[in-house]
Structure 1
Amino acid sequence: MNGVQTISLGEIMAKKSGSVDPSKFPGEVFDLYSIPAFDSRQPEVVAGKLIGSTKQIVEPGDVLLSKIVPHIRRSWVVGEKQGRRIIASGEWIVFRSEKIYPNYLRHVLVSDPFHSKFMSTVSGVGGSLLRARPAFVEKIKIPLPPLEEQKRIADILDRAEALRAKRRASLAQLDELTQAIFIDMFGDPVANPKGWLHAKLGDVIFSASDGPHVSPEYTENGVPFLSTRHVRAGEITWEDLKFISKEDAEIQWRKCKPERGDILYTKGGTTGLAATVKTDRLFAIWVHVSLLKPDPEKVDSLWLESMLNNEFCYQQSQVLTHGIANRDLGLTRMVKIKIFLPPLHLQKEFSHRIDTLERMKIVHKASLAELNELFASLQYRAFRGEL
């Protein structure tokens, strides 16, 4: 690290921060830093009578690191007091020291170099049962420049992070605009104020099929093999791919071959998300993804994608999804999803508008990718004393 001083996390870990059982103070209101509250970056304001277990007592400026589901990077700086006692759930590892500028430490704890070390401390059988072990976390060394340098680094990274956040917010607004245009043109499907014809999904597609029901043999390269995690509402992602051989893909394509204009619709695990195939790239799909072949004389693919991703159809998909541990939206059930059916020329007009939005998204995503690369470079240089 080019001579940068380091410190073990154990030296700044608040091992005796104290605890409280809020239920013994039923009328008192607490600020609770919980894992579910993290995404909003606002602690829960909750009465003691509604809190069912003992919590850690934390202080403003403490830095929290989530030890559960550790592949999701969660670090949070405790905010100022708002006239209430501040507590945190036991899933957080708490750090506290005058040697550390809190926001600098937060950046360290979500950085790539730290995260790789952090994941080596994990135990458990997988998924939500994975836990980072504090006894091992405390042995990890992090760079410790002088306090003023920490503040300078944190300020630079804060500004770069703010740029990324603005770009992500712009993308989210474009996603929301798709549904806003849908409602403006066609009305709410629940009320159907424009009196469009009623139909079912099965009425407007040639077929609904799915991928193989047995685990394939993966290869180092070959044909991309997509699963549920590659399908989001309105988007197919091509990251973290697995591959199968061309020979195996040819066998699968006899039953189920994705083509441009088809729709991928998730049917296992996370169900009810639709994304149109907008590429001629060859790929295959897993059993938990269904392949819908729209009838172009009845329905436009992008319009149908938005219809299926509308809350009206999404809620139907959840009712039709069976199972708890192994959730499944069966092919024979999904085709019963109710839709309305505007004239095809209006569907195509909607599709044209969405094409414009998609081009805007491509520009924003390219900009976000550049900002992500910049941020990663800044992190790398900052924690090596090169910034």
Structure 2
Amino acid sequence: MDNHKQRTPIGEIPSDWEVVTTKEIFKNKTLKNYPNEPVLSVTQEYGVIYRDTIDRRISMDKSNTKNFKLVEQGNFIISLRSFQGGIESSSIQGLVSPAYTVLKVEGEDIEENFYRYYFKYPRFISYMGSAVIGIRDGKQISYKVFSELFIPKPPYNEQQKIASILSSVDEAIEKTEQIIEQTTKVKKGLMQQLLTKGIGHTKFQKTSIGEIPEEWRIEELQNITDVRDGTHDSPKYMDDGIPLITSKNLKPNGIDFSNVNYISTQDHAQIEKRSGVEEGDILFGMIGTIGNPVVVKKEFDFSIKNVALVKFDREKQVISNYFIYYLLQSSLVLSQLSKGTNGGVQKFIALGTIRKLMIPTPSKEEQEEIVKILFSVDEKINVEKYRFQKLEILKKSLMQQLLTGKVRVPIEEDEVMQT
């Protein structure tokens, strides 16, 4: 395998790779008058999908779709009118509007999946973006301009190897996503069961929040915890200082400090007098983003604004903070909150509503058992999320190395003979 490099318009690539224009591989395909095919949507998040995901059809008469373009499996699609970066490949057949260009691969020495990944490579997206023309309602790129863009053409067997490696990572990512989704469903079912039926109970009582074990009591949240909120003032923001946490910073995995405003130590000290946050407290979004409870792991000081603060009596230990944490995620509590949510575009929940939440209270021992079960499920979800993040990083690294030929994939001699 040749490990020498050559300088090209698209950067340094192996000397045994070709540089070609896109029109040498991708031909503009315009097949029309297929009115009975389903209509497709092209999205950055989900790729190419059926516009109507329920029955995979959309009711359109013949006149509406006669100018739509037929997309077959393996075709590539690019939006000419609202270019946002990258090109989508289709694994399904259907129609797209005339606002899209449909590209068909021509040539026996082309591995479509190689270019499916290459068109998602950030360097190509940036290169393609430089050819985009700005217009009033967005940006566009003509097929003529697109057809003159340069792309690499590795040997066919190497295209196949690169696509195979990246596909295997994609498969691992997809399996991990499925595990996270399934485990999250299991957690939801467990929460519903454990937070309303408990563990090992046979006798139940009817209450204002539904059926719960006879041994359990119902309390307002304010009677078993100290419920406060953050500052109502608008302190002056600074370039540096103490982070000011609002509802937008509460995420499923904890507090997001990457997008915060900062306040002075003096303003922080004033806020602390009213709503000082301690390790083990729970924060709960009240405005805009409602919910997303977070158990505080305090590594440094911060203040809160438009956030509910649930504090616990460390000496009496009447209620477990993690038991409340799980309850605040449950349908039992969310149904109560939905009745007290106000506002139009900017939703908010009053502190009084949070204080009056009706909370089922098992014995402390049973609370701990329930938390232990749910915590173990959370740990599994977090392990899979960490694996997902590592796989995403691996894929990004592999794309950068393999799609540019910076790292060559080994090709067996018999594979070379076949090409």
Give the TM-score category using the shorter length.
0.7 to 0.9
Give the partner amino acid of 1:320. G
Q: Distance in 2 between matches of 1:75 and 1:284?
A: 44
Q: Distance in 2 between matches of 1:184 and 1:18?
A: 54
Q: Distance in 2 between matches of 1:131 and 1:12?
A: 28
Residue 79 in structure 1 maps to residue 91 in structure 2: yes
Counterpart position of 1:311: 331
Deviation at 1:118, TM superposition (A): 6.9
Mapped contact 1:66–1:92 kept (Cα < 8 A): yes
SS at match of 1:170: helix
SS at match of 1:244: strand
Q: Distance in 2 between matches of 1:111 and 1:203?
A: 56
Residue 269 in structure 1 maps to residue 281 in structure 2: no
Residue 184 in structure 1 maps to residue 193 in structure 2: yes
Mapped contact 1:225–1:241 kept (Cα < 8 A): no
Residue 299 in structure 1 maps to residue 338 in structure 2: no
Q: Distance in 2 between matches of 1:69 and 1:275?
A: 39
Counterpart position of 2:116: 106
SS at match of 1:158: helix
Mapped contact 2:73–2:92 kept (Cα < 8 A): yes
Listed as ranges, the matches of 1:341-360 within 5 Å are 341-360=361-380
Deviation at 1:153, TM superposition (A): 1.6
Give the paired residue count: 370
Counterpart position of 2:279: 260
- Match among 61, 64, 81 for residue 74 of structure 2: 61
Listed as ranges, the matches of 1:315-330 within 5 Å are 315-330=335-350
Mapped contact 1:62–1:77 kept (Cα < 8 A): yes
Q: Distance in 2 between matches of 1:213 and 1:10?
A: 60
Structure index of larger Rg:
2
Deviation at 1:265, TM superposition (A): 1.6
Deviation at 1:204, TM superposition (A): 3.5
Q: Distance in 2 between matches of 1:232 and 1:164?
A: 22
Mapped contact 1:320–1:329 kept (Cα < 8 A): yes
Mapped contact 1:38–1:76 kept (Cα < 8 A): no
User: Identity over aligned residues, as a percent?
Assistant: 19
Q: Distance in 1 between matches of 2:298 and 2:388?
A: 22
Q: Distance in 1 between matches of 2:175 and 2:28?
A: 37
Mapped contact 2:192–2:330 kept (Cα < 8 A): no
Deviation at 1:115, TM superposition (A): 5.2
Counterpart position of 1:166: 175
Q: Distance in 1 between matches of 2:19 and 2:244?
A: 43
Q: Structure 2: which 5+ runs fail to align?
A: 1-10, 198-206, 408-419
Residue 382 in structure 1 maps to residue 402 in structure 2: yes
Give the partner amino acid of 1:214. S
Give the partner amino acid of 1:269. G
- Cα distance, 1:263–1:386 mapped onto 2, change above 3 Å: same
Counterpart position of 1:370: 390
Counterpart position of 1:38: 46
Deviation at 1:6, TM superposition (A): 5.1
Of residues 347-356 and 235-244 in structure 1, the stretch that sits farther from structure 2 once superposed is 235-244
